Amino acid sequence: LELFHTLFIKPNNMFALIDCNNFYASCEKIFNPKLKNKAVAVLSNNDGCIIARSKEAKKLNIEMGSPIFKYKDLVQNNILHIFSSNFVLYGDMSKRVMQTLKSFLIPMEIYSIDEAFLDLTTLNLNYTELLNLAAQIKNRIYKWTNIEVSVGIGKTKTLAKLANKQAKSKGIFILCGNNIEHILKKTDLDDIWGINKNLKKRLYKIGIYSAFDLKNANPILLKKSLSINVVKISFELNEKKCLDINENFRNKKSICSSRSFAEKIENFNDLKKSLCSFAAIATKKLREQRQKANFLSVFITTSFHSDDPFYSNSYQLSLPFATSYTPDILKYATCALKKIYKKNYLYKKTGIILSSFTCENALQTDFFRPLPNFKKDALMKTLDSINKKKKNSIFFASEKIDQKYKSSSKMLSFKFTTSLDELLIVK
DNA sequence: TCTGGGGTCCTAGGACCC
DNA sequence: TCTGGGGTCCTAGGACCC
């Protein structure tokens, strides 16, 4: 253990986690002044359940993840204002926030759509300087994007995450030195990054009941009864860095596209059409990161929440050659679907996952395989450039789905920042 | 009536190798 | 009667994240 510490754990690190407050709900509020001080919630695809709440909505005890029909009365009485998820808007606002953060020229990892880590280690700041920097970050992001953020600072990413929880009420919080023990004692295990309800139960079984207990736990015991990740979390609570920031976030290692349907689908052809439309979306994303896939997985499932007979299955296949050519993916995805489709079930959802990527212009071939067809790449380039000018100008016949199965979003706000036809009008 | 979508990482076990 | 020891690589499934 001593050896491990001296070899791998470097002292004197400092990380900040910047997290946008109630991000999706905040994005809706920016462009709609009528929503000021009102409770706002954003719904999942298909307008199913709640995935974001403004602070006013949180005060009404509206739960994350619960289906919207539970709050029908609040919506009808204009107490709760709901929106379909507008990922084009949120994605663009996220980009603006991240660009603002980049202007500080500090090593940075974009961790999610509304969060980023900064590695402050080399800046060597004292407590007051840290507070000043955090305030500057908050102010600049608010001034440039109108988004409010919380800044949490700690000696490891795990502590910065925890500090951010404290910062939700105070705006800025630095978790170090004397206050760590005090905070950890009143922190629930599942409020720690990387520990959920399930892991919490397993920790209870070995006599660890709080974040403070986990900090002081025996790493050998943690490794034996749980996993290496829990050991790392415990070290991180002790201000010993195990997790570094990852600045190379550009390329994804897998790309998934899936959706639940507005109406359940029984028929193979309708299921195939929607799968093909997801396959085309995933393949387009793959081309955007200039890579080709060697592996795909297709899944189908009936509803988890109905009395209909339940069936869920998936099929994985290795592609005979790396490809980002939509017709190739459509063909193999359809093959995979045929393997798992069963008649007489009411399907609610399907999707595709592409993985095992290689660089688009480094193709491995062999003696017995035809040479790669460069015309395929040229065709996809043309297709993408046409669709860039006007979305969905060209698509494959197999993608054409019946409107009634498409997931619905009835309360969609405008794409205020990305579409000339949907600009905010000020009278 | 109505219950999301998109990711990463770890581990156990199988299939190989000598 | 008795059948080794030490590896690597791959994958499915689980567990976690937002």
| Closest protein CA to C1' of nucleotide C18, residue | A112
Parallel, antiparallel, or unpaired: how do β-strands A291-302 and A80-84 relate? unpaired
What is the per-residue pLDDT for A249? Answer: 63
Those nucleotides of strand C lying less than 7 Å from any protein Cβ are 11-13, 15-18
What is the per-residue pLDDT for A365? Answer: 67
What is the per-residue pLDDT for A364? Answer: 66
| Closest protein CA to C1' of nucleotide C16, residue | A194
Most confident stretch, A138-147, A229-238, A255-264, A394-403 = A138-147
A228 vs A50, more confident? A50
What is the per-residue pLDDT for A82? Answer: 95
Q: Which residues pair with A258 in a beta bridge?
A: A351
Please determine, for residue A14, whether its predicted confidence score (pLDDT) is greater than 80.
yes
Nearest nucleotide to A202, CA against C1' atoms: C15
A54 vs A364, more confident? A54
Nearest nucleotide to A112, CA against C1' atoms: C18
| Closest protein CA to C1' of nucleotide B8, residue | A253
DSSP conformation class of A75: H
| Segment A60-100, tens digit of pLDDT | 999 998 899 999 999 999 999 999 999 999 999 999 999 99
| Segment A341-397, tens digit of pLDDT | 999 899 999 999 998 888 888 776 666 666 778 899 999 999 999 998 888 889 999
Judged by DSSP in three states, A62 sits in coil
Please determine, for residue A5, whether its predicted confidence score (pLDDT) is greater than 70.
no
What is the per-residue pLDDT for A321? Answer: 84
- Rounded to whole angstroms, the Cα distance separating A33 from A384 reads 37
Does strand C come within 7 Å of the CB of A115? yes
- Rounded to whole angstroms, the Cα distance separating A419 from A86 reads 13
Mean pLDDT value across residues A207-227: 89
**What average pLDDT does chain A have?**
90
Q: What percent of chain A has pLDDT over 90?
A: 63
Does strand C come within 7 Å of the CB of A196? yes
A259 vs A403, more confident? A259
Would you call A268 exposed, middle or buried from its count of C-beta atoms within 10 A (0-12, 13-18, 19+)? middle
Nearest nucleotide to A297, CA against C1' atoms: C12
Q: What is the dihedral of CA A382, A386, A387, A392, to 10 degrees?
A: -110
What is the per-residue pLDDT for A2? Answer: 56
| Segment A101-157, tens digit of pLDDT | 999 999 999 999 999 999 999 999 999 999 999 999 999 999 999 999 999 999 999
Look up tokens 């390329």; give the residue. Answer: A251
Please determine, for residue A266, whether its predicted confidence score (pLDDT) is greater than 60.
yes
Please determine, for residue A279, whether its predicted confidence score (pLDDT) is greater than 60.
yes
Does strand C come within 7 Å of the CB of A225? no
For chain A, how far is it from start to end, CA to CA, in angstroms? Answer: 67
| Segment A298-357, tens digit of pLDDT | 999 988 888 888 888 888 888 888 899 999 999 999 999 998 999 989 999 999 999 888
Residues packed against strand B, CB within 7 Å: A 44-46, 48-49, 51, 65-67, 69, 227-229, 246, 252-260, 281, 285, 303-306, 348-349, 351, 407
